[in-house]
């Protein structure tokens, strides 16, 4: 959602502040910009930028080669496929209609799990939430014994 939303521009500064900035800061900002452009065009700076670029490329290549040695070409394709699938699923989840479908499916799965997990034995009381007050040791022991008898059916 925030991908398509662009916030409004900030309000302009008061006129007095603009005049002060123009009078005192603008000359220094222009001078700084000129010095920076001169520095970046210098031959030595170009050489340093070239060395840094080569170093970054070599570093990324070593990471890629290590990953290739560890996972192989098919492993890289699998990782790429997983990343694309994850990004696509995240985009689909953000669609307005998809949220309702996902919630309905989740509710079906939750109900199915509750039906399978919660015992259907009538002798057992269903505990779907914690009690407001803690149980005593005797209450806990009797509940465990009822559960054991319902599941294991002693003979």
Q: Are 125 and 147 in contact (CB under 8 A)?
A: no
pLDDT of residue 3: 58
pLDDT of residue 54: 96
pLDDT of residue 36: 87
Report how far apart, in Å, the C-alpha atoms of 8 and of each of 1, 11, 12, 17 are.
16, 9, 12, 21
pLDDT range class, residue 53, cuts 50, 70, 90: very high
The CA distance from 101 to 99, in Å, is 5
Nearby residues of 143 by Cβ (< 8 Å), 6 or more positions away: 135
Lowest mean pLDDT among 38-42, 50-54, 70-74, 151-155: 151-155
* Mean pLDDT, all residues of the chain: 82
Percent of the chain at pLDDT exceeding 70: 86
The CA distance from 70 to 136, in Å, is 56
Report how far apart, in Å, the C-alpha atoms of 133 and of each of 61, 126, 130, 142 are.
61, 17, 8, 17
């Amino acid at each position: 959602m925030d991908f398509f939303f662009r916030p409004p521009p900030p309000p302009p500064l008061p006129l007095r502040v603009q005049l002060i900035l123009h009078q005192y800061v603008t000359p220094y900002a222009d001078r700084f910009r000129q010095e920076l452009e001169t520095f970046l065009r210098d031959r030595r700076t170009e050489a340093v930028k070239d060395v840094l670029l080569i170093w970054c490329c070599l570093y990324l290549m070593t990471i890629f080669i290590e990953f290739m040695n560890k996972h192989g070409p098919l492993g890289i394709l699998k990782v790429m496929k997983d990343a694309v699938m994850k990004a696509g699923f995240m985009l689909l989840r953000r669609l307005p209609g998809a949220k309702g479908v996902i919630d309905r499916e989740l509710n079906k799965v939750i109900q199915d799990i509750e039906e399978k997990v919660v015992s259907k034995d009538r002798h057992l009381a269903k505990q779907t939430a914690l009690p407001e007050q803690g149980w005593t040791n005797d209450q806990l022991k009797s509940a465990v014994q009822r559960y054991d008898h319902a599941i294991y059916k002693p003979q």
